[in-house]
Structure 1
Amino acid sequence: MPEPQPTVLVLTALPLEYAAVRAHVEHRREDVHPTNGTQVELGRLPGTPWQVAIGELGEGARATAALTASLIDWLRPQAVVFAGVAGSLKDDIVIGDVVVGTKVYGIHGAKLTPGGPLVRPEAWSGSNALVQAARSAVRDMAGVRAHFKPIATGDVVLADAGSEIARYIREHYNDAAAIEMEGSGAAHAAHLSGQVDALVVRGISDRTDERKSAADAGGSQERAAAQAASVTVGALRKYRPRGGSGGSADSEENPQAVYGGDHIDFRGGTFYGPVIGKQTGRQ
């Protein structure tokens, strides 16, 4: 008897990031977390075995951590990817590039002393299986310039390259290539679950300087979000379910699923029972 499709959770903070991911997901249907009301859309990623659950969580690492943990407990995904936009911290990483997070830093852990801050860093590594899938995917993506580097997460919008926080990051997190606001929350929640792969994928929308507002107004965020979504989808096309055949969703090994009510209709048969992502009867 066919099993329900394995699930990946793709999260965003902003509406334009959500829209960029949503454009790749077919046969979407809405569902709502039974206790906290978080809304997701579930659908298929064509050509893969994956059911994709997409969510827009808003800004900030703390809210992201709490909501990601509850979504993991509810949907039981194999992986969590946070996809969206970020500011570049390096001169050679420009608007439209994509940074795939080999690590995610939480930058606000420190002890402040008269001699300066003594950094107490937190870091979460991107899951090797997802990092490797992204590396494989971008080799064939001619329109994408990707960098596999650490990403810094902080509750700041950095628009001054000469600011104290910018100097702090350069001194203590010198290998960080981009800065954003949610990645550490998603990575921490995935880590605490003990069983979920995690990755942060960020398109570069600004250079973290005084030109940020002009870049945003010129459409850089939409471009960056689209690039991040493309890399995320490319990685998921290479990423394989644990214990599965890993073939295409359109192959006999991974039949296409069409959701309806309390059952999933597959080519060659119908599975009756709880549907992953359905509000009642979830396992």
Structure 2
Amino acid sequence: MTWSKNSGIINRGGHMTISGAAIGDGATVFHQHPLEATISRRADVGVITIKGSEAKAVVDALGLRHQSLNGVPFWHGTTNLHGVVTRVAMIRALGQGQRSTMAAFENLRETFRPAVIALVGIGGGFYPDISAGDVAIGTRAVYYDLRKETAGQVQRRGEDRETPAIIGNAVNSFFVEHGEPARFTYEDHEYRVLSCIIGTGDAVIADAESEIRRYLKHYNDNISVVDMEAGGLTQAFHERGNSSQIHGWVVIRGVSDHSDENKNDAIQKTAAQHAADVLRSLIPYLPCHT
């Protein structure tokens, strides 16, 4: 960006049109660089990631480039998949958890006005429902951290939110064409893609006998993947995005562990790559093209 200075302007009568100018001693004019001018500031799909491995996987899968806007780092670009051209903008949340995800949602919404927002990355799976390396697509999320604590008892109060039907129908169409579970191949190894309900809260689950796991399975036995961010996404959409501007949200989670005592970071990179690969394949089905 460049700045031009102006020491004043004189008009001795008649009409005058001033463009790209400033009036007054020391006045300043801002000139936008060509790269900034080419950014449409409009996206069809907005993507939220949390970890660095998740962000890199999406950038590599979609060929996005970095650009800071208003001091916030984004990655954006255009994809052409099966003849469908899609503008994508991605943000990496500042940290893990529901609150940081809500802030990332707001930054995406204000800056790029996406039609659909996808939360993409890794999550924990409940074995044997889903295996490490598989990918879950969620259009419904159950927030499990709401609770009442009394002497000797914790009473959880699940908060259940579902994305609008237009997104659910798009995901269903994806599975009609690919089968369910769908079978994808990434770098010569196969993994499955399934639809499921996402359990979400701020607790990291690393115990096969966890009370949270038991609660979620009792709440709905189709809950087989958990994360720490989907609740923030669904709450942000409920409060700020539920309008004609944003059609809805979807959660894509590559399973990196079984949410038990064997939880480790060994396959996080692979799980993130699988999730980004599924996002790329899902984009042409999403109702986001204007």
The offset of 1:133, in angstroms, is: 4.8
Structure 2: runs of 5 or more not aligned: 1-39, 186-190
- Of 271, 279, 282, the residue aligned with 1:224 is 271
- Of 56, 72, 80, the residue aligned with 1:46 is 80
Inter-partner Cα distance in structure 2 for 1:116 and 1:171:
17
Range that drifts further, 67-76 or 147-156: 67-76
In the TM superposition, what are the counterparts of 1:129-140 in structure 2 within 5 Å?
129-136=169-176, 138-139=178-179
Q: What is the letter of the counterpart of residue 176 of structure 1?
A: I
Inter-partner Cα distance in structure 1 for 2:148 and 2:48:
32
SS at 2:96 equivalent: coil
Tell me: CA distance 1:129–1:53, structure 2 relative to 1, closer, same or farther (3 Å). Answer: farther
SS at 1:62 equivalent: helix
CA contact (8 A) 1:8 1:78 kept: yes
Tell me: CA distance 1:199–1:130, structure 2 relative to 1, closer, same or farther (3 Å). Answer: farther
Inter-partner Cα distance in structure 1 for 2:250 and 2:209:
29
Corresponding residue number in structure 2 for 1:183: 230
Structure 1: runs of 5 or more not aligned: 245-283
Inter-partner Cα distance in structure 2 for 1:49 and 1:190:
25
Which whole-Å deviations, capped at 9, do the CAs of 1:24-83 have from their partners, x for residues lacking one? Answer: 223624132x2xx33111111223321110111131111111221232122111010001
- Aligned residue pairs total 233
CA contact (8 A) 2:76 2:88 kept: yes
Inter-partner Cα distance in structure 2 for 1:137 and 1:232:
15
Corresponding residue number in structure 2 for 1:15: 52
Q: Does 1:198 align with 2:237?
A: no
Calculate the TM-score normalised by the size of structure 1.
0.74
Inter-partner Cα distance in structure 1 for 2:254 and 2:215:
23
The offset of 1:181, in angstroms, is: 0.7
Rg comparison, structure with higher value? 2
- Of 51, 67, 73, the residue aligned with 2:110 is 73
CA contact (8 A) 1:30 1:40 kept: yes
Inter-partner Cα distance in structure 1 for 2:67 and 2:56:
14
Corresponding residue number in structure 1 for 2:155: 118
SS at 1:145 equivalent: strand
The offset of 1:131, in angstroms, is: 2.2
SS at 2:67 equivalent: strand
Q: Does 1:210 align with 2:266?
A: no
The offset of 1:114, in angstroms, is: 4.5
Q: Does 1:169 align with 2:203?
A: no
Tell me: CA distance 1:42–1:13, structure 2 relative to 1, closer, same or farther (3 Å). Answer: same
Tell me: CA distance 1:138–1:65, structure 2 relative to 1, closer, same or farther (3 Å). Answer: farther
In the TM superposition, what are the counterparts of 1:243-262 in structure 2 within 5 Å?
244=290
Percent identity between the two aligned chains: 30
